[in-house]
């Protein structure tokens, strides 16, 4: 894996060189205090980790195109702190282990950065991302300017390095896809376990615990985002995360959850009956959402625009809503007026990678960008029906979403999360045989 990180650094250097070169800074994420001296579990910055694999806080990657070098600044070894908080690589071992040209103590960062910055054509950093970081960078630039009599100029150009890294991260390499496949497998197993454990009278958090159990036991550091475990009408709250209500016989349960494996997210939604059998109204709506999801997946092709599968999903959902008499009129009319948004108010998916809503532009010069092999998207249409006088009561509180993760391939797409059933027959068979 060290090789994959070195290859990414070399690729970033090439991009920077092609754009005039200079020095790039990529700091990792700060530790966050939860309260007093207790911290949240540490997670490195996604882009920093993408380029280094280095897991510790208080670290900065500095890339220089001329002379070409990759330098890490990190914490020093400290026996006292290691007894309390755990192992630290220290600069010497870090340089060796992570194949960097050099590594220095983080305490030397400001001084060394000023030394290296003189006469560089540009400084590439995450401009405006973090005000403390911006202030630190400004201080270094001013230190070079203040010393201009030494013959060193401060770079006249400040550029956003994130945009370049984001575009690289949008196309996943073979090592990343391997990890994303594993994240998908584990997360699918979590959903299967949750379906098996589901029964009327249990609480939403008991099902959440089944997901977490499966994610952790296969090595996921954490869920990739807060799990949504929404019984009955709670599924009509798109960002429901309280997960504290009892599951009722006759209701559906919507689970939107995925594990984070080696820094990579999975993002799966399944909706299934709490008692293991769909009612006829539930089945009718479910088949509409499933047809929309399958149609949208079939539209994933290299060269298709990012928006194409959203359009396919919307048309199929709207046709289904008309068939169920949730809407009246025509498909084009409902799309034109937006009347369907009452039941389907989000888009059909997003980029997926290290971050659940991953980086990368969706449009280039105002046009939806074409899909390319190596991009990973979610496909997640839904239908959410709140109680209303003009809606048949049998549909009230049905909230359904079906979500899979797909990598674009030369011939179409590969489903990373196919390990959990999503047909009515598949779900009912799995639940039939549960303990
Ligand atoms: N779980 C977040 C999403 O589906 O976008
Ligand atoms: Mn999701
Ligand atoms: Mn999603």
Residues 288 and 425 in one domain: yes
DSSP 152: P
Reduced 3-state DSSP string for the chain:
CHHHHHHHHHHHHHHHHHCCCCEEEEECCCCCEEECCEECCCCCCHHHHHHHCCCCCCCEEEEEECCEEEEEEECCCCHHHHHHHCCCCHHHHHHHHCCCCEEEEHHHHHHHHHHHHCCCCEEEECCCCCHHHHHHHHHHHHHHHHCHHHCCCCCCEEEEHHHHHHHHHHCCCHHHHHHHHHHHHHHHHHHHHHHHHCCCCCEHHHHHHHHHHHHHHCCCCEECCCCEEEEHHHHHCCCCCCCCCECCCCCEEEEEECEEECCEECCEEEEEECCCCCCHHHHHHHHHHHHHHHHHHHCCCCCCECCHHHHHHHHHHHHHHHHCCCCCCCHHHHHHHCHHHHCCCCCCCCECCCCCCCCCCCEECCEECECCCCCEEEECCEEEECCCCCCCHHHCCEEEECEEEEEEECCEEEECCCCCCCCHHHHHHHHHCCC
Residues 136 and 197 in one domain: no
Tens of pLDDT, residues 48-104? 999 999 999 999 999 999 999 999 999 999 999 999 999 999 999 999 999 999 999
pLDDT band at 343 (very low <50, low <70, confident <90, very high): very high
**Token match 């090789």: residue?**
3
Residues 9 and 79 in one domain: yes
Residues 161 and 202 in one domain: no
Mean pLDDT over 278-288 rounds to: 98
Strand order across the 228-231 sheet: 228-231, 252-257, 268-273
Phi, psi of 55 (to 5 degrees): -95, -10
pLDDT at 402: 99
Instruction: Find the 260 Cα to ligand 1 centroid distance in Å.
Output: 13
pLDDT band at 373 (very low <50, low <70, confident <90, very high): very high
Residues 14 and 163 in one domain: yes
> Among 127, 147, 169, where does a domain finish?
169
Residues 155 and 268 in one domain: no
Mean pLDDT over 343-360 rounds to: 98
Spatial separation of the C-alpha atoms in residues 66 and 41, rounded to whole Å: 37
Catalytic residue among 357, 362, 393, 434: 357
Whether pLDDT at 2 is above 90 = no
37 is catalytic: yes
pLDDT band at 434 (very low <50, low <70, confident <90, very high): confident
Contacts of 346 (CB under 8 A, 6+ apart): 238, 382
Whether pLDDT at 326 is above 70 = yes
CATH number of the CATH domain containing 130: 3.40.350.10
pLDDT band at 150 (very low <50, low <70, confident <90, very high): confident
Give me the chain's average pLDDT, please: 97
Instruction: Name the H helices within 19-85.
Output: 46-52, 79-85
Six token digits for residue 359: 């980086």
Burial class from Cβ neighbours inside 10 Å (0-12, 13-18, 19+) for residue 373 reads: middle
pLDDT at 90: 98
Name which of 360-364, 381-385, 431-435 the model is least confident about: 431-435
Residues 295 and 176 in one domain: yes
HSE-CB for 132 with a 13 A CA cutoff:
3
pLDDT at 149: 85
Ligand 1 atom closest to Cα of 257?
A: 1
Catalytic residue among 267, 294, 355, 404: 267
| DSSP-assigned beta bridge partners for residue 27 | 60
> Among 169, 194, 221, where does a domain finish?
169
pLDDT at 73: 98
Q: Whose CA is nearest to atom 5 of ligand 1?
A: 357
pLDDT at 159: 95
Whole-number Cα distances in Å, 57 to 41, 129, 217, 223, 406: 11, 18, 25, 20, 32
Percent of the chain at pLDDT > 70 equals 100
Instruction: Find the 245 Cα to ligand 1 centroid distance in Å.
Output: 21
204 is catalytic: no
218 is catalytic: no
Instruction: Find the 240 Cα to ligand 1 centroid distance in Å.
Output: 11
Residues 280 and 393 in one domain: yes
pLDDT at 1: 57
Ligand 1 atom closest to Cα of 356?
A: 2
Spatial separation of the C-alpha atoms in residues 107 and 349, rounded to whole Å: 43
Mean pLDDT over 276-305 rounds to: 98
pLDDT at 206: 98
Residues 123 and 177 in one domain: no
Give the residue, out of 241, 267, 406, with the most ligand 1 atoms within 8 A of its beta carbon, to mutate for a pocket test: 267
Distance, CA of 70 to chain centre: 27
Give the residue, out of 211, 403, 405, 417, with the most ligand 1 atoms within 8 A of its beta carbon, to mutate for a pocket test: 403
Distance, first Cα to last Cα, the chain: 41
350 is catalytic: yes
Residues 262 and 370 in one domain: yes
pLDDT at 391: 97
Binding-site residues, ligand 1, Cβ < 6 A: 225, 256, 267, 350, 356, 380, 403
Instruction: Find the 226 Cα to ligand 1 centroid distance in Å.
Output: 9
Tens of pLDDT, residues 211-256? 999 999 999 999 999 999 999 999 999 999 999 999 999 999 999 9
pLDDT at 228: 98
129 is catalytic: no
CATH number of the CATH domain containing 398: 3.90.230.10
Q: Whose CA is nearest to atom 3 of ligand 1?
A: 267
Asked whether the whole model's pTM tops 0.75, one would answer: yes
Q: How many domains, in total, are found in the chain?
A: 2
403 is catalytic: yes
pLDDT at 223: 98
Mean pLDDT over 174-201 rounds to: 98
Give the residue, out of 378, 379, 402, 417, with the most ligand 1 atoms within 8 A of its beta carbon, to mutate for a pocket test: 378
Instruction: Find the 177 Cα to ligand 2 centroid distance in Å.
Output: 19
Residues 213 and 93 in one domain: no
Q: 405 is in which domain, residue-wise? A: 171-432
pLDDT at 435: 67
> Among 115, 136, 169, where does a domain finish?
169
Tens of pLDDT, residues 25-39? 999 999 999 999 999
pLDDT band at 304 (very low <50, low <70, confident <90, very high): very high
Residues 103 and 161 in one domain: yes
Pairing mode, strands 363-364 and 259-261:
unpaired
332 is catalytic: no
Sign of the alpha-carbon torsion through 164, 170, 46, 205: positive
């Amino acid at each position: 894996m060290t090789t994959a990180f070195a290859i990414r650094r070399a690729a970033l250097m090439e991009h920077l060189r092609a754009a005039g070169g200079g020095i790039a800074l990529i700091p990792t994420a700060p530790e966050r205090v939860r309260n007093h001296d207790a911290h949240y579990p540490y997670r490195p910055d996604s882009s920093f980790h993408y380029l280094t694999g280095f897991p510790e806080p208080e670290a900065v990657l500095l890339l220089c195109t001329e002379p070409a070098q990759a330098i890490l600044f990190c914490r020093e070894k400290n026996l006292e702190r290691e007894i309390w908080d755990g192992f630290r690589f220290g600069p010497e071992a870090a340089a060796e282990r992570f194949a960097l040209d050099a590594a220095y103590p983080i305490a030397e960062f400001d001084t060394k950065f000023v030394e290296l910055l003189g006469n560089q054509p540009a400084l590439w950093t995450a401009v405006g991302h973090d005000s403390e970081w911006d202030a630190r960078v400004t201080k270094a630039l001013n230190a070079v300017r203040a010393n201009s009599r030494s013959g060193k100029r401060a770079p006249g150009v400040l550029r956003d390095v994130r945009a370049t890294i984001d575009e690289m991260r949008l196309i996943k390499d073979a090592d990343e896809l391997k990890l994303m496949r594993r994240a998908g497998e584990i997360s699918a197993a979590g959903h299967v376990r949750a379906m098996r454990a589901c029964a009327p009278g249990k609480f939403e958090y008991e099902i959440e615990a089944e997901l977490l159990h499966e994610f952790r036991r296969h090595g996921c550091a954490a869920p990739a985002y807060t799990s949504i475990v929404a019984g009955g009408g709670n599924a009509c709250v798109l960002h429901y995360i309280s997960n504290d209500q009892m599951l009722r016989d006759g209701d559906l349960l919507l689970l939107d959850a995925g594990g984070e494996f080696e820094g990579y997210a999975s993002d799966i939604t399944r909706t299934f009956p709490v008692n293991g059998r769909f009612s006829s109204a539930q089945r009718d709506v479910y088949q509409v959402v499933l047809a929309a999801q399958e149609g949208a997946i079939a539209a994933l092709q290299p060269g298709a625009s990012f928006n194409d599968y959203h359009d396919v999903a919307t048309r199929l959902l709207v046709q289904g809503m008309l068939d169920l008499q949730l809407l009246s009129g025509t498909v084009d009319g409902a799309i034109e007026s937006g009347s369907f948004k009452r039941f389907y108010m989000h888009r059909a998916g997003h980029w997926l990678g290290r971050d659940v809503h991953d980086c990368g532009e969706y449009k280039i010069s105002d046009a939806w960008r074409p899909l390319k092999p190596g991009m990973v998207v979610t496909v997640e249409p839904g239908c959410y029906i709140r109680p209303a006088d003009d809606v048949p009561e049998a549909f009230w509180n049905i909230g359904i979403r079906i979500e899979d993760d797909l990598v674009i391939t030369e011939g179409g797409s590969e489903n990373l999360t196919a390990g959990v059933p999503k047909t009515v027959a598949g779900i009912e068979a799995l639940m039939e045989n549960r303990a």
